[in-house]
Amino acid sequence: MNRRDHTLCALLLGVTISICTLSVVPLVLVYVGSNLPDLDAVIFKHRKTLHNVFSVIIITCVFYSASHGFWFVGVGMLLHIVLDMCSKSNVFFFYPLSNKGVGVRGPRNGTLWSTMLSLIITVLLCWLVVLVSKNI
Ligand SMILES: [Zn+2]
The Å distance, Cα 24 to ligand 1 centre, comes to 24
Distance 82 CA to ligand 1 centre (A): 9
Q: Separation of 28 CA from ligand 1 center, angstroms?
A: 18
Each residue of 12-26: pLDDT tens digit?
Answer: 999 999 999 999 999
Expressed in angstroms and rounded, the spacing between residue 45 Cα and the centre of ligand 1 is: 11
Going from N- to C-terminal start, the domains of the chain cover 3-127
**Distance in angstroms (rounded) separating the CA atoms of residues 13 and 93:** 22
What is the reported pLDDT for 129? Answer: 95
How much distance in Å is there from the Cα of 67 to the middle of ligand 1? 26
80 vs 85: CA distance, rounded Å: 9
Q: Name the residue type at position 87.
A: S
Span 69-125, pLDDT tens digits: 899 999 999 999 999 999 998 999 999 999 999 999 899 988 999 999 999 999 999
pTM of the entire predicted model: 0.92
Nearest to 51 by CA among 14, 5, 84: 84
